């Protein structure tokens, strides 16, 4: 099971600020809900600061192409925050 943070590191992308990270997390969660009709499993993982732990959504391997697509479209977009489509809350495809 993978977290969004795991996938950002795997793809070699820069980790976004916490506000954009939460927005991306919401996009991935919504895409998971649309595909599976349920919320993703959650589990405790260490915080990046090394102090304590945090509950993260965990995504199965078969869902990783969807996670990666969302990450790449948002984090590689020069618009970042403006790369979201208002109609369906998914990253714009250009």
Task: Let me know if residue 51 belongs to a domain.
Answer: yes
Q: Mind listing the pLDDT tens digit for each residue in 10-69?
A: 999 999 988 888 999 999 999 999 999 999 999 999 887 778 898 999 999 999 999 999
Task: Let me know if residue 37 belongs to a domain.
Answer: yes
Residue 89 has pLDDT above 80, yes or no: no
Task: Let me know if residue 92 belongs to a domain.
Answer: no
Cα–Cα distance for residue pair 47/74, rounded to 1 Å: 23
Q: 31 is in which domain, residue-wise? A: 4-83
Whole-model pTM: value is 0.80
Task: Let me know if residue 69 belongs to a domain.
Answer: yes
Task: Let me know if residue 93 belongs to a domain.
Answer: no
Number of separate domains in the chain: 1
Task: Let me know if residue 94 belongs to a domain.
Answer: no
Task: Let me know if residue 11 belongs to a domain.
Answer: yes
């Amino acid at each position: 099971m993978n977290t969004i943070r795991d996938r950002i590191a795997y793809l070699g992308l820069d980790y976004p600020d916490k506000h954009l990270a939460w927005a991306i997390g919401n996009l991935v969660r919504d895409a998971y809900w649309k595909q599976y009709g349920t919320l993703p499993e959650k589990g405790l993982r260490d915080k990046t600061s090394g102090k304590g732990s945090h509950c993260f959504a965990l995504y199965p391997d078969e869902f990783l192409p969807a996670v990666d697509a969302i990450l790449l479209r948002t984090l590689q977009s020069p618009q970042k925050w403006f790369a979201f489509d208002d109609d369906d809350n998914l990253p714009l495809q250009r």
